[in-house]
Amino acid sequence: MSHSKTVRYFLFGCMVAGLVNLSGCAGTTRNLNVKEADESMVKNCKFLGTFSSSFYDHSRAMNFAIDDAAKKGATHYVVMDTASQYQGHMVTMSRIRIRGYKCDGNKSTSAVKAIKQDKTKPKTD
């Protein structure tokens, strides 16, 4: 095979790999309307279910789980657990599990205010 054909095949392969990589990004934009919370912030909210996702990239796995929760109407989520599998120093798979909640604006806002106020109080030990 001539040098010019080798270069063409290489460039074509790079182009295909780039397109495949871009298509893998579809649907992984984090839904910014769904906020991370802790248990105290969602205690008065409606539990919608547990959502999980597995992906080779931790942030994409999280984004897919959050998107699934958002599709069910979640306004907040609580991370249950995360796990990653490794091969050598490379992550081969990340698993995320979250709980989705639908919070009334007043309930979730008051919980956030209470937490912020608690953080601003000086600690007395």
Q: pLDDT digits over 21-64, tens only?
A: 444 444 455 677 899 999 999 999 999 999 999 988 888 999 99
**Per-domain boundaries in the chain:** 31-120
Residue 26 falls in which region: left (phi positive, over 0), alpha (psi -120 to 50) or beta? beta
pTM of the shown model:
0.60
Q: How far is CA 66 from CA 21, 60, 80, 108, 121, in A?
A: 21, 10, 12, 18, 32
The predicted structure's pLDDT at residue 75? 96
> 28-32, 85-89, 98-102: which has the minimum mean pLDDT?
28-32
Q: Which two tokens stand for residue 119?
A: 């953080």
**How many H-runs (helices) and E-runs (strands) does the chain carry?**
3, 4
Fold type of domain 31-120: Dodecin subunit-like (3.30.1660)
The predicted structure's pLDDT at residue 70? 95
